[in-house]
Structure 1
């Protein structure tokens, strides 16, 4: 598998990837936060003012072509910020939940992060549905999966509550009821939930690799270790793996994540383009003796299948 899998050719800051099978064009799409690694400006302006980038693959994920940005999402005038999309397909349409910040702040604090819901028939023309009322006004990084009883559960990071993972439930993907905190062990972000080999799994970005949690029912979670916490040997893969998405197909699971290849000390704030730039990587997951494992140096052939 080539490494890195993808780099954004416009700003070189692809982050927070989510993969979805485009049923209209019959290709895989990667939608991601289009960080502006090359942008000038004060402090953290480069991680704001971001669009959602789009890359497509016609060969099962082996190679990716940058296609542009997702348009038509604006709910007000001006240059605004979109972060960390979650996109799912349900009953004939796509649903997207994306974190939204008004304008282009250059600092972290003092700016609400809203969760917006859109729907689309083709991944191109989006209809704004609502701003979700969740557990605070600083929520990001939505992930959605169905529970065994058919409910949809959304897991997300609540920055006003110690950057812990909170959850909300819905029967129809439009109306959501906050269920409260789920993971409170330590601060983290980017929860991603998937079902693989008889268990629910959640990976979260702990800024030291991906923390792993396991569940029988998608509700009660127990710590199951870490992955992507040790440097890899592939090109651009020698730092921790950040904010990931997992695609499960039959008995295979693949984790798509990003790295800061030229930022070996992740606790040091990036100042230069080299420290800001990112690469998207992919690795294979497996379960051994009840634990989720990932050998990021493993050689494998990625071949994502079409989905119904």
Structure 2
């Protein structure tokens, strides 16, 4: 049994790989991870001017850097005049749909107001074939961190609104026309007395073992919520707050994605192992404090709670194929 590398991946240019989104590429029969390629080792403008990086693996163990995604024919480069963050991706037939936060500039520290853009690419063009399909009306200010899931004949998008707007969701019959449903119901947007958190971002929703699960990033590990219908959520604790022992994993997990393979589920997340908590403002963080890595672990459910031992060995022997 070969071990999963730790870290799983580090961006080869600015060492700022974060916000992973893992998908099965049916065209290549590989797992692909799309991530925000922060420019971590710059002294300034580290969080803007960022492309979407891409890595691939046939076995979830050996990962190859493919480069940066191209949008509307513009090749992705380590330094961009515009900003893309936190892609959420879903497959529909032979096409893949990406909802990514977009800002039309690279002004530090955060680039001002943005939108979530909808891009489409064919299964055989997931690196260089993304084309703009539209800008869904998901509300303002500053929608970020889209997560997409199909529920029956309906598509759902979960995301965060700026200005203290909380975690919202919207529904669509076709990924084009969206109806805003407002704040997620239940515990997700409840008070700190209920959730334990005053702030959350990066909602990620997946279906596993008969229930819907939402993970969020409150900068204090990952918050977990559970739902029977993906609409009303109940708090289910926290995972990955305590540091791991693996290389570059001795810190809190951030902004996750999950690959469900049969009865098993694997979480991908990023770490910023040199980042202090509480954290200085963006432009006062040193390059060393901004470096980030991708990591992987396996999820389990024990006594109705989602748990994750980030230090446990992952045995992929006999893992079923995804088609």
Q: Hey, what's the Cα distance between the residues in 2 that align with 1:302 and 1:156? A: 32
- Corresponding residue for residue 114 of structure 1: 115
Q: Hey, what's the Cα distance between the residues in 1 that align with 2:183 and 2:65? A: 37
Query: Alignment partner for residue 178 of structure 1, among 173, 177, 180?
Result: 180
1:305 CA displacement? 4.9
Unaligned regions of 5+ residues in structure 1, if any? Answer: none
Query: Alignment partner for residue 242 of structure 1, among 254, 264, 270?
Result: 254
Counterpart secondary structure, 1:221: strand
1:306 CA displacement? 4.0
Contact 1:4 1:236 in 2 (8 A): yes
Relative to structure 1, the CA distance from residue 34 to residue 165 in structure 2 (aligned partners, 3 Å threshold; closer, same or farther) is: same
Contact 1:56 1:66 in 2 (8 A): yes
1:108 CA displacement? 3.6
Contact 1:163 1:189 in 2 (8 A): no
Q: Which deviates further from its counterpart, 256-265 or 222-231? A: 256-265
- Corresponding residue for residue 16 of structure 1: 19
Q: Hey, what's the Cα distance between the residues in 2 that align with 1:241 and 1:302? A: 22
Counterpart secondary structure, 1:169: strand
Q: Hey, what's the Cα distance between the residues in 2 that align with 1:305 and 1:35? A: 33
Q: Hey, what's the Cα distance between the residues in 1 that align with 2:316 and 2:17? A: 20
Contact 2:43 2:287 in 1 (8 A): no
Query: Alignment partner for residue 190 of structure 1, among 174, 181, 202?
Result: 202
2:310 pairs with 1:307 = no
Unaligned regions of 5+ residues in structure 2, if any? Answer: 75-79, 191-197
2:69 pairs with 1:64 = no
Contact 1:163 1:187 in 2 (8 A): no
**Aligned ranges 1:48-197 → 2 under 5 Å:** 48-58=48-58, 60-73=59-72, 79-108=81-110, 111-121=112-122, 122=124, 123=126, 124-147=128-151, 149-160=152-163, 162-182=164-184, 183-185=188-190, 186-197=198-209
Relative to structure 1, the CA distance from residue 82 to residue 302 in structure 2 (aligned partners, 3 Å threshold; closer, same or farther) is: farther
After TM superposition, the score normalised by the length of structure 1 is: 0.92
- Corresponding residue for residue 224 of structure 2: 212
Q: Hey, what's the Cα distance between the residues in 2 that align with 1:74 and 1:84? A: 20
Contact 2:159 2:203 in 1 (8 A): yes
Relative to structure 1, the CA distance from residue 216 to residue 66 in structure 2 (aligned partners, 3 Å threshold; closer, same or farther) is: same
Q: Hey, what's the Cα distance between the residues in 1 that align with 2:24 and 2:156? A: 21
Counterpart secondary structure, 1:116: strand
Q: Hey, what's the Cα distance between the residues in 2 that align with 1:166 and 1:84? A: 16
2:234 pairs with 1:222 = yes
After TM superposition, the score normalised by the length of structure 2 is: 0.88
Counterpart secondary structure, 1:274: helix
Relative to structure 1, the CA distance from residue 48 to residue 74 in structure 2 (aligned partners, 3 Å threshold; closer, same or farther) is: farther
Counterpart secondary structure, 2:46: helix
